[in-house]
Amino acid sequence: MVGRELLALLERRRFPVAQLQPFSSGRSLQNVRFRGRTLQAPAIDAKLLSCCQLVFMVSSEEVARRFGPKLAAGGVWVIDDSSEFRLDPKVPLVIPEVNSSALNFHQRLIAGPNCTMTGIAVAGWPLHKAATVREVRLATYQAVSGAGRDALTEFFDQSRANAARQTLAPDGRAPIWPCPARRALPQPIAGNVFPQVGSFDPQGHCGEETKVARELRKVWSAAHLRVSVTAVRVPVVRGHSLAAWLRFSRPFAPQRARRLLRHAPGLKLMTANYPTPLAMAGLAPVFTGRLRPGIDARELCLWVVSDNLLKGAALNSVQIAEHILRKGWLKRP
């Protein structure tokens, strides 16, 4: 899904592509549309990849590990959307609105961020620069599309099955649905929420919670930042939402925070209303609202929504490529 969003963005943003070579797993015949043409997407070919100036990797950690370092060592720019290299100290983890300065002409392998972490990284960055965030507490409400196409299909199948059974009991009580089939997700997702995104470690943290904490520290260059995350999967198609509590090194007035957020790149502050994933789906910026005081003068609370397939993945990768292009590090076709 991210790959198709990426192709649409390259076309819509008029990125200068002389020749596009799409690839797939090769397990079945795959075609993609680009600039009015249908292109076949065969299995990955290392030789063809090595002839490219720029490679977007929107695949698994195994594929990234197998091809990414070799391509970069051969002079190819590689922007990887998997989690394989995000915490590698030699590989920049880049969100252009936050840390484009991490890009380096001599390091051509670049990691894209976790789609959940991106929202708080962009929304919290202007505030962190102004008053140094010491602690971040997050409750994330993550869309099903973040788990991939199979999870989304499962969500739709479960929703149809539940809708067919949705009748009131004779005594007027709401129905209790039986557990629908599940394969891609650990629990039924239609009409449900569950606090697990990824597998659990021995301490009881799930994978997404660990990733968000570690990646936020790297992107903000804040090794001592305390981050606590509860990751929740919700029955939403696209758009991750975050409830965030930021604790600063000194008192920080909400009025000052609003002034900073109004002019922050890649961010849209909503004051008369608040963002929702349904309303913000398909839109580029990170949206924030409900900015308010916390338990004391050093804490602020805010609500953040961003499209996980766009700014959380495909758009961020294209923005990195555009930055490299502006630097003159890519030859224009």
Domain of 298, CATH number, reads 3.30.360.10
| Domain of residue 100, residue span | 2-113+313-326
Domain match, 295 and 317 both: no
Question: Which of the residues 115, 128, 205, 206 is marked catalytic?
Answer: 115
Residue 168 lies in a domain: no
Annotated catalytic, 205? Answer: no
- Per the rule left: phi > 0, alpha: psi between -120 and 50, beta: everything else, 310 is alpha
Domain annotation covers residue 164? no
Asked if residue 129 and residue 95 are part of one domain, the reply reads: no
What pLDDT does residue 170 have?
Answer: 67
Whether residues 124 and 33 fall in one domain: no
Model pLDDT, residue 234 = 98
In a domain, 226, yes or no: yes
Residue from 52, 240, 263, 301 carrying the catalytic annotation: 240
- The predicted structure's pLDDT at residue 182: 74
Q: Do 107 and 199 belong to one domain?
A: no
Partnered with residue 293 across adjacent β-strands are 300
Pair (10, 139) in one structural domain = no
Q: Rounded to whole angstroms, how far apart are CA atoms 321 and 330? A: 9
Known catalytic residue at 240: yes
CA 333/CA 88 separation, integer angstroms: 32
Same domain for 79 and 20: yes
282 and 209, same structural domain? yes
Structural domain count of the chain? 2
Q: Give average pLDDT by consecutive 10-residue segment, the chain, 333 residues.
A: 94 95 87 93 93 95 96 97 96 98 96 97 98 98 95 93 72 68 89 96 96 98 97 98 98 97 97 96 97 97 98 98 96 73
Residues 41 and 137 both lie in one domain: no
Q: Same domain for 276 and 132?
A: yes
Same domain, 33 and 141: no
Q: What is the reported pLDDT for 167?
A: 65
DSSP at 55:
E
Residues 125 and 64 placed together within one structural domain of the fold: no
